[in-house]
Structure 1
Amino acid sequence: MTQTIEVKKDWQSIAKEVVGGRKVTKEEALAVVQAGDEELLAILQAAYVIRHAYFGNKVKLNMIINAKSGLCPEDCGYCSQSIVSEAPIDEYAWLTKEKILEGAEEAVRRKAGTYCIVASGRRPTDREIDHVVSAVEEIRETTDLKICCCLGFLNETAAAKLAAAGVQRYNHNLNTNEGNYENIASTHTYEDRVDTVEQVKAAGISPCSGVIFGMGETDQEAVEIAFSLRELDADSIPCNFLNPIDDTPMEGRRELNPRKCLKLLAMMRFVNPTKEIRISGGREVNLRSMQVMGLYAANSIFVGDYITTSGLEAREDWGMIEDLGFEIEEKAV
């Protein structure tokens, strides 16, 4: 049962203290998530104070290419590529190097600063790492894109190879709170995920790690994952909202509404004030008409499609950012 904790809710004062260097408590973070809808605008205004202090009105765009689809032995209940999924998705082995390079060109056209090369599977083989390295080296020679990879669990050798090739960021989400993890997957553990993030950091690659909200976690567990990501010192934090795909174990699960999503984004900004907070998968189906308001807390979004689900057209995202009076940060930093 979710516990409600009474905290003095002077959101503006808390935001100014955060900008001044104070870390919010778990009780304050929980109060953000559990606040009444009548407080939503005040919470977003306060989150914007923090966001603006570190990122101004800039919005970072990221684009994904699904370089290897399906055929995954893991049993993650949210994923359409999982071995336990019966969702009708495209399944294919690795895209050619040329296709990956074409994706980089498309990322530039979509005004993305970061290009994310994603592949299904538990752990990349040496041959797969070499395939990615070859593509990354050429992309780095011909574009200013920041390269992010998401290839599964990594060991020290693979992480070092990616770093040497010029991969600047590696994504490996924690996905949910440690205590909730056994309800999400059984073929690997929460600790396995933490280990890969630590391998990435040790190799000198910027860690990207985030969450999927709406998978049965309590409000307290949502706060716990935000604090775990703070402790892990993830530079980029994707905030996904469960898109319950038909024929996956989590089909039909709808625990979120747009207002709750906005409070979760604001909470993540309060807890991780200096980090890139990205509105990620599921924003279109969970935030719906309120997507634009998420950018008062977050400073980054994906542009285009996700791994197996569709996103908006790039021009729609550009227009949303322009209507808000914000601007796209086209050069990765």
Structure 2
Amino acid sequence: MNWNLLAEQVLAGHELSDEEGLAILESDDDHILELLHSAYQIRKHYYGNKVKLNMIVNTKSGFCPENCGYCAQSIDSEAPIQKYRMMDKDTIVQGAEQAHRLRSGTYCIVASGRGPTNRELNEVTAAVQEIKAKYDMKVCACLGLLRPEQADKLKEAGVDRYNHNINTSKNHHDAITTTHTYDDRVETVNYAKQAGISPCSGVIVGMKESRLDVVHMAKALKELDADSIPVNFLHAIDGTALEGTNELTPMYCLKVLALFRFINPMKEIRVSGGREVNLRSLQPLSLYAANSIFVGDYLTTAGQEGTKDHQMLKDLGFEIEYPAPQTLAE
């Protein structure tokens, strides 16, 4: 396969076939630099050398009635995690201050559970209003399944983006969770879109899905028209249903990111959870396909130090899209 030619075709409007997608995932490791160079041509066309930073605050941990096999907060999980109820407004706002210091352009307010209660929604919307008044950053909410009126309330408060991942392919969904459907997830993303909120939806790779499933995930997100696509790589946690699962290699993760760039050329593609443990020393190469990363910790697992992420971007010659606060030492 001529990856440069395929990249040129994508920039001209070509949509990958399943066979072309599989060819990326099944390509020889010896050709990884050629593949990433071609993915970078697409990435550079739309985003130049800029990288977007995002930071998560886990505002509610545990107490989730869903049975997602990857999640330490699941009702079936025996993982020894810290559990706490919804943070108050002031604590959520304090997290935004840290995100501002780390030069994050997007602050992600995440809560476990099937969906938000009225009280939880009120805490989030009050915090969002204060954050938007204080800081020049986007706010993303990730609170589970939404009703249309809840999406409207989040929009009114100033939420810019709503995240609800499809996580896996429709075909593989029931192997991961049975307490909600794939269509439930798609419906929530559509409710956010209807409310005028930018849709964010992504995947978790490495959950015993097939390579064709991965191709179909990328195509489903294209059809859903998600503006931001977080690509997570399974960090299997002891005590979860997927404990001990270890299917990923750094090379395969890079091919997955290239695939998502070829299929969703204009979208923000974010290297997300599990990048440190799955990409390991090859993390910098991921940004030749992706144009966004998380800084700081994830939900129940630790991330890389923000200063190391900043140094990595500097070493690559990439530019952080969000300007540094004057109080931040370079």
TM-score, length-scaled by structure 1: 0.96
Q: CA deviation at 1:17?
A: 1.6
The 3-state SS of whatever aligns with 1:246 is coil
Q: CA deviation at 1:160?
A: 0.1
Residue by residue over 1:74-113, the C-alpha shift from the partner in whole angstroms, topping out at 9 and shown as x without a partner, is: 0000000000101111100011111111100000001100
Q: CA deviation at 1:125?
A: 1.2
Report runs of 4+ in structure 1 exceeding 2 Å deviation.
none
Tell me the distance in 1 between the aligned counterparts of 2:135 and 2:185.
Answer: 31
State the match for 2:224 in structure 1. Answer: 232
Q: CA deviation at 1:20?
A: 2.0
Q: CA deviation at 1:16?
A: 1.3
**CA contact under 8 A between 1:81 and 1:120: conserved in structure 2?**
yes
Residue 122 (structure 1) aligned with residue 96 (structure 2): no
Q: CA deviation at 1:21?
A: 2.1
State the match for 1:194 in structure 2. Answer: 186
State the match for 1:6 in structure 2. Answer: none
Closer, same or farther: CA 208–331 of 1 in aligned 2, 3 Å = farther
Q: CA deviation at 1:23?
A: 1.8
Q: Which residue, 230, 244, 256 being the options, matches 2:236?
A: 244
Structure 1: which amino acid aligns with 2:315? D
Residue by residue over 1:262-312, the C-alpha shift from the partner in whole angstroms, topping out at 9 and shown as x without a partner, is: 000000000000000000000000000000000000000000000010001
**CA contact under 8 A between 1:236 and 1:277: conserved in structure 2?**
yes
**CA contact under 8 A between 1:78 and 1:184: conserved in structure 2?**
yes
Tell me the distance in 2 between the aligned counterparts of 1:69 and 1:245.
Answer: 15
Residue by residue over 1:29-51, the C-alpha shift from the partner in whole angstroms, topping out at 9 and shown as x without a partner, is: 11101101011111000000000
Tell me the distance in 2 between the aligned counterparts of 1:280 and 1:200.
Answer: 21
Tell me the distance in 1 between the aligned counterparts of 2:26 and 2:277.
Answer: 22
Tell me the distance in 2 between the aligned counterparts of 1:162 and 1:203.
Answer: 9
TM-score, length-scaled by structure 2: 0.97
State the match for 2:293 in structure 1. Answer: 301
Aligned length: 324
State the match for 1:45 in structure 2. Answer: 37
- Provide structure 2 residue ranges, at least 5 long, that are not aligned to the other structure: 325-330
- Provide structure 1 residue ranges, at least 5 long, that are not aligned to the other structure: 1-8
What aligned pairs does 1:216-295 form with structure 2 within 5 A after superposition?
216-295=208-287
Residue 15 (structure 1) aligned with residue 16 (structure 2): no
Tell me the distance in 1 between the aligned counterparts of 2:240 and 2:323.
Answer: 37
The 3-state SS of whatever aligns with 1:179 is coil
**CA contact under 8 A between 1:144 and 1:331: conserved in structure 2?**
no
Residue 166 (structure 1) aligned with residue 158 (structure 2): yes
Tell me the distance in 2 between the aligned counterparts of 1:29 and 1:326.
Answer: 27
State the match for 2:47 in structure 1. Answer: 55
The 3-state SS of whatever aligns with 2:71 is coil
Residue 106 (structure 1) aligned with residue 98 (structure 2): yes
State the match for 1:32 in structure 2. Answer: 24
The 3-state SS of whatever aligns with 2:56 is strand
State the match for 1:175 in structure 2. Answer: 167
Structure 1: which amino acid aligns with 2:122? D
Q: CA deviation at 1:331?
A: 5.5
Tell me the distance in 1 between the aligned counterparts of 2:195 and 2:158.
Answer: 11
Tell me the distance in 2 between the aligned counterparts of 1:178 and 1:281.
Answer: 21
Tell me the distance in 1 between the aligned counterparts of 2:244 and 2:121.
Answer: 36
**CA contact under 8 A between 1:145 and 1:331: conserved in structure 2?**
no
Residue 142 (structure 1) aligned with residue 134 (structure 2): yes
The 3-state SS of whatever aligns with 1:66 is strand
Structure 1: which amino acid aligns with 2:180? H
Structure 1: which amino acid aligns with 2:40? Y
Tell me the distance in 2 between the aligned counterparts of 1:327 and 1:309.
Answer: 27
Percent identical among aligned pairs is 58
**CA contact under 8 A between 1:63 and 1:304: conserved in structure 2?**
yes
